Amino acid sequence: MTENQQVSGSYWLQTAPGGRHAALTGDLDVDVAVIGGGIAGLCTAWELTRAGKSVAVLEAGRIAASVTGHTTAKVTALHSLIYDKLRRTRGSEGARLYARSQSEAIEHAAEVAAGLGIDCDWERRSAYTFTRDAGRVEELRAEARAAREAGLPASFVTETGLPFPVAGAVEVTGQAQFHPRKYLLALADDLVARGGRIHEDTTVLGLDEGEPCRLSTESGATVTARDVVVATHYPIFDRALLFTRLSPHRELVVAGTVPADQDPGGMYITPDENTRSVRTAPYGEDGTRRLLMITGEHFTPGTGDTRARFDRLAAWAREHFPDVELTHRWATQDNSPTDTVPLVGPLHHGARHTYVATGFAGWGMSGGMMASLLLTAQITGEECAWSGLYDPRRLAPAVREAPSFLKTQAEVARHFVGDRLRPSPPVEALPPGEGAVVRADGGRLAVYRDEDGALHAVSARCTHLGCLVDFNSAERAWECPCHGSRFDIDGKVVQGPATKPLERRHIGGDAEGRAPAG
């Protein structure tokens, strides 16, 4: 299959399409409303249902189809280079709690899969963080020591199953990988069988934190709940100002098959070369080939040439795995907290019945599983040893969080001001299949010309906090570089935190903002 013939979409979605859940059309009263149907939301809802709570999952799109449906699905407590940093910023006990919480979540998920008989391609593998740069070896040695001291079965190694030499690597044994859609769709079925409710195509717009809480939805239906969990990847409510502590980033994935005897036999990641991550998955019935997934090209949404990044990633895959037959390409997105640790717990300082789970920094599989155990404990009144570590209300010492915080806010400010000053192309210069932010009618419009030459115009101002969007040509989407909201060519929300579409605008065409070329 040639570059242009590759499937543009997630392998997980293609191989586990799943059924549909009806949108919410009438008012609803439950113990707990979970906003967001990704891994954190579904696992939390399932745990709470098992604990005897009446629960409803409210998902704006389809469950396990957004960020979770585009992950590479490593289930590991080795999160690149984190333990040496945690040891310095949170102390040895903080590092131990992080390792323990992630590891216990992984083992719990393995037990759930076995207990429910879920066929989700669960495989045990070692996880590796590697470098090919001899100058970084001491950094990896320190990480191995810190991970081992935190309680993980970690060691520093110089030999791996990769088809090229490495200068050194941290290995943690006994980790896992799986098919996230197969796991979560089975969990969703069991949730419904236990009396839980799932409503797709249900966008939540407002939250009243009373006793009980009330959620307003796009359809006009109201959900009343004693407790609310916001598990929308990037929080859709700004009252906790968490957007000041999160920075969004996207990464690309190319995938294809390799002969089974070329499986590198582990899960690998390197911070080198703008990130490269490698793993395989079962493929086909005869076991002669494996699906190889290569992830990397870390970037801020709405910045740079995504097509060129895909090309670089595909070239890297072919260079190191010459027999790969690339068949798929997709992108994933996550948010990194300014002080490294995810934000899981009460939504803000005054919150009594509202909770949040966000900031998994690319490790949402184990992180989402961990969050479900933590939030279930908090909502049911149980103790959780690592609640304090992940508490969103934590006040990090200025010396620890300030540099990352200031860098994040400076980047947002640069886009908010600078993007309004950059020159824009004339609409007439837009070729079919491309989009750009242009000056028109005294403002900025986001204009896309489709393959038939018709123009689609929407406001370029993100409906979250007002930054200007930019066009991602590879995925044909408008993206906000400030907080990661994404919209389709007609302005519909593809990914939050925005909950409202970009306004349709007229640009010399009909009332819908479409115009013929010419």
DSSP for 375-390?
A: HHHHHHT---TTHHHH
**What was the pLDDT predicted at 463?**
87
Round to whole Å and give the CA distance between 354 and 348.
8
CATH number for 448: 2.102.10.10
**What was the pLDDT predicted at 396?**
57
**What was the pLDDT predicted at 7?**
61
In a domain? residue 475:
yes
Burial label for 64, CB within 10 Å (0-12, 13-18, 19+), is buried
pTM: 0.86
In a domain? residue 208:
no
Phi, psi dihedrals of residue 247, rounded to the nearest 5° = -125, 125
In a domain? residue 291:
no
**What was the pLDDT predicted at 109?**
98
- Per DSSP (E only), the strands in 354-431 are 354-358
In a domain? residue 450:
yes
In a domain? residue 464:
yes
In a domain? residue 484:
yes
Chain segment 107-128, per-residue pLDDT in tens: 999 999 999 999 999 999 999 9
**What was the pLDDT predicted at 152?**
98
Residue 434 belongs to what domain range?
A: 427-515
**What was the pLDDT predicted at 413?**
46
Task: Please say whether the beta carbons of 69 and 395 come within 8 A.
Answer: no
In a domain? residue 483:
yes
> Which segments of the chain have a pLDDT < 70?
1-7, 239-240, 396-425, 441-442, 508-518
Amino acid at 14: Q
% the chain with pLDDT above 70: 90
Task: Specify the 3-state DSSP secondary structure of 124.
Answer: strand
**What was the pLDDT predicted at 94?**
97
**What was the pLDDT predicted at 78?**
98
In a domain? residue 420:
no
Query: How many structural domains does the chain have?
Result: 1
Round to whole Å and give the CA distance between 435 and 422.
16
